[in-house]
Amino acid sequence: MPKTEVILPDPETGKRYNAQSSCLKARFGRKAVKISLNGGFTCPNIDGTKGTGGCTYCSAKGSGDFGGDPRDSIAEQFRSGKAALEKKWGTDAVYIPYFQANTSTYAPLSRLKRLYGEALAQENVVGLAVSTRPDCISAKTADYLGELARQTYLTVELGLQTVHDETAARINRCHSYGDFLTGYELLRRRGVNVTVHIINGLPGESREMMLETVRRLSKLDIHGIKIHLLHMIRGTETARQYLNGEFAAMTMEEYVETVCDQLELLPKSVMIERLTGDGDRATLVAPLWSMDKKAVLNGIDKEMRRRGSVQGCRF
Ligand code: SF4
């Protein structure tokens, strides 16, 4: 499907960035929403293959706190997710199943084919999204994902978090920026859309380092980006370091300004899939202001308006 031209500010919503909701509506002609699924995957940074203990901020649920229950089949998870979404969006929406929890390409190809196939066979499904680590894309997996990308609207979400290897080591990512580029290339050479996850507020990172992450990504051919705020979740190493005074949390003002800078640096063709994180209220230690998501998003809109800027104006 050809890319539609992005006009900013969006004439319908007034948004000064290329928001996922508008993008998907333009592509499918109606509301398209993701349904989070849990394929019961593990993670090589937890099982000892790449590392142990996981990323220092990873929650007990493998950073997929809103995914389905892996004890249920994919069809069951999809049905209950759809029923919940219908209460909000009615019955006219179309769906993109989203394998969110843990590392959703970390399994034999036969299992991936079965799980993804089951998700794609559900009612009113128009695409598929798969979240994974960049070092968990083998050539064989990339070949299969390339095939899928020719059949449906497929997006593979790669967790990068930062381009700075010293930060990656500090948060125990157990992969480098070079590893990310290898995974990215394997997918892009096969025509697979790549969305990248980054995190603002990682320990030891200045605003300039966060902007550098986006500057480097803006030189690649990425389809979308998810910008997260570092959440300190109870029981994680990150929360322990924070409570121990080893680093400070970002203020809302700092976060809003940084995100606006990042939006200005990104090409306007890049779909903005997320501008803040969804911390689990019951376990979030800090920053507590992030629980008011609406205030964060309104703050970003307000700051972009104040600057008179739009996504891509400094690309
Ligand atoms: S790669 Fe993802 S699932 Fe694995 S430890 Fe890190 S955050 Fe958790």
How far is ligand 1, taken at its centre, from the CA of residue 56, in Å? 9
- Per-residue pLDDT tens digits of the chain, which is 315 residues long: 545 689 999 999 999 999 999 999 999 999 999 999 999 999 999 999 999 999 999 986 655 555 688 999 999 999 999 999 999 888 899 999 999 989 999 999 999 999 999 999 999 999 999 999 999 999 999 999 999 999 999 999 999 999 999 999 999 999 999 999 999 999 999 999 999 999 999 999 999 999 999 999 999 999 999 999 999 999 999 999 999 999 999 999 999 999 999 999 999 999 999 999 777 889 999 999 999 999 999 999 999 999 999 999 999
Residue 61 pLDDT: 63
CA distance 65 to 306: 35
Would you say domain 20-307 falls under CATH 3.20.20.70? Answer: yes
For ligand 1, whether the C-beta of 102 sits within 6 Å is yes
- Spatial separation of the C-alpha atoms in residues 247 and 259, rounded to whole Å: 20
Using one digit for the tens of pLDDT, what is the confidence trace for 28-51? 999 999 999 999 999 999 999 999
Contact in structure between 108 and 72 (CB atoms under 8 Å):
no
- DSSP reduced 3-state for 154: strand
Residue 55: CB within 6 Å of ligand 1?
yes
CB of residue 46 inside a 6 A radius of ligand 1: yes
pTM for the predicted model, two decimal places: 0.96
- Taking the centre of ligand 1 as the mean of its atom positions, its distance from the CA of residue 251, in whole angstroms, is 25
Tokens 């499907």 map to which residue? 1
The per-residue pLDDT for 41 is: 94
What distance in Å separates the CA atoms of residue 243 and residue 230, rounded to the nearest whole number?
14
Quick one: pLDDT at residue 91? 86
Residue with tokens 């990042």: 262
Q: Say yes or no: CB of residue 168 within 6 Å of ligand 1.
A: no
Residue 69: the pLDDT is 87
